[in-house]
Amino acid sequence: MLLEIKNLTSFYGDAQILFDINLNVEEGTVVGLFGRNGAGKSTTFRSIMGFSSPQCQGEIKYKGQDITTLPPYKIAKMGIGWVPEDRRIFPNLTIKENLLLGEKSESRSSDSPDRKKITLDDVYRYFPVLKKMERKWGCEMSGGEQQMLTIGRTLMSNPDLILLDEPTEGLAPLIADQVMNMVLEIKKEYGMALIVVEQFSPHFISFMDHCYVMDIGEIIYDGSPEKLEKDHELQQKLLGVG
C-alpha cells in the first residue's frame, strides 16, 4: 500500500474537523475524494502534508513509514506532491523560474530505478503553453494557465503520489477538461498515484479506481466508483446531487 491513513482526527485549536478518517491509496491508482464544501477534504490534504495546523492524531503511513509527525519538506522529499486549491504560484517570478523551483536534486527513481524522471522538457511537452510563455511573469497568467503551472511545478519534484485539491475550480469547462486529460496522460506515462478532491461529477468519477465521500469530517462512503456513478439515490443521499 502506498498511503495508509488510520483513525485520523484533526483539530484547529479546540475545534475537531476530522473524525477517525480511514483512507488507502495503492500505487498507480486514482482515488476520488468527494464531498460538499466544508466536509474536511482540504483538511485531510493538509494533514497528509504535515502542516502544523491542523493538529493531528492517528496514523499516516507512506510506503510503510509513519509520516504523521514529519514536517512538510520531509514529506515532499519522500515523494508526495501537492497541487493546492489556491495554486500558490510566485507572481514575481517567470513561469520557467516557478517550474524550476519544484525541481529537487534526487529523483523518486532512487527506489524505483526503472521509472522515468519528469524533466522541464516533459512538462513543456504536456503543457506547451508554458513553454511559449516561459519568460512571462506569474502574475500575467490566466486561471487555467496558473493551474497548469502549479501542476507542472509539482511534477518537477517527480512524486509517486500527487494530491490534487479541486484542480478544475474556477476554470471554464473546456479548460477544465484539458487540464484533467493532461493529468491523466501524465499519470499513465509515469505511473504515479493521484488523490483528486472535487465536487461530484460523472466525468471525474469515470476515470477513478476507488471513491470516498466525506461529510462533516467523516468518511460516509468507501467503495467503487461504478456503484456511486450508477446509484442516483445514493448520490442524492451522500452529495445532494443526482
State whether 73 and 129 are in the same domain.
Answer: no
pTM for the predicted model, two decimal places: 0.90
Tell me, yes or no, whether 58 and 125 share the same domain. Answer: no
pLDDT in tens, 95-134: 999 999 998 755 444 455 566 789 999 999 999 999 999 9
Query: Would you say residue 165 lies in a domain?
Result: no
Give the 3-state secondary structure percentages of the chain, helix then strand then coil, rounded to 5: 35, 25, 35
Whether residue 164 is contained in a domain is answered as no
Distance CA 213, CA 238 (A): 7
Residue 227 belongs to some domain of the structure: yes
User: According to DSSP H, which parts of 60-172 are helical?
Assistant: 72-78, 95-101, 120-126, 128-132, 143-155
Instruction: Verify that 187 and 95 share a domain, yes or no.
Output: yes
Cβ-based neighbour number of residue 83 at 10 Å? 24
Lowest pLDDT segment from 34-43, 130-139, 201-210, 223-232: 201-210
Asked if 118 and 52 sit in the same domain, the reply is no
Residues 25 and 5 in one domain: yes
If asked whether residues 107 and 132 sit together in one domain, one would say yes
Mean pLDDT, residues 173-182:
83
Same-domain pairing of 93 and 70: no
Which positions ≥6 away from 110 have C-beta within 8 Å?
A: none
Residue 2 lies in a domain: yes
Angle value at C-alpha 231, between 226 and 237, nearest 5 degrees: 120
Distances from the Cα of 204 to the Cα of 16, 32, 84, 162, 190, angstroms: 29, 8, 18, 16, 20
Specify which of 13-22, 141-150, 191-200 reaches the highest per-range mean pLDDT: 13-22
Half-sphere exposure at residue 115, Cβ-oriented, CA atoms within 13 angstroms: 21
Q: What is the CATH number of the domain that holds 6?
A: 3.40.50.300
**Which three cell numbers, joined as nine digits, stand for 172?**
471554464
- For residues 23 and 58, membership in a common domain is answered with yes
Asked if the structure places residue 167 within a domain, the reply is no
In a domain, 112, yes or no: yes
Task: Give me the number of domains the chain comprises.
Answer: 2
Instruction: Name, in order, each residue with C-beta under 8 angstroms of 20's C-beta and a sequence gap of 6 or more.
Output: 7, 8, 9, 58, 218
**Residue 166, in any domain of the structure:** no
Domain match, 69 and 96 both? no
* Residues 212, 130 within the same domain: no
Residue 93 DSSP class: S
- Residue 236 inside a domain? The answer is yes
Residues in the chain: 242
Mean pLDDT across the chain: 89
Burial class (CB within 10 angstroms; exposed 0-12, middle 13-18, buried 19+) of 191: middle
**Residues 74 and 94 reside in one and the same domain:** no
Q: What does the buried/exposed string (b/e) look like for 35-65 if buried means 16 or more CB atoms within 10 Å of the residue's CB? A: bbeebbbbbbbbbbbbbeebebebebbbbee
> The domain containing residue 129 runs over which residues?
88-159+172-191
* 11 and 67 inside one domain: yes
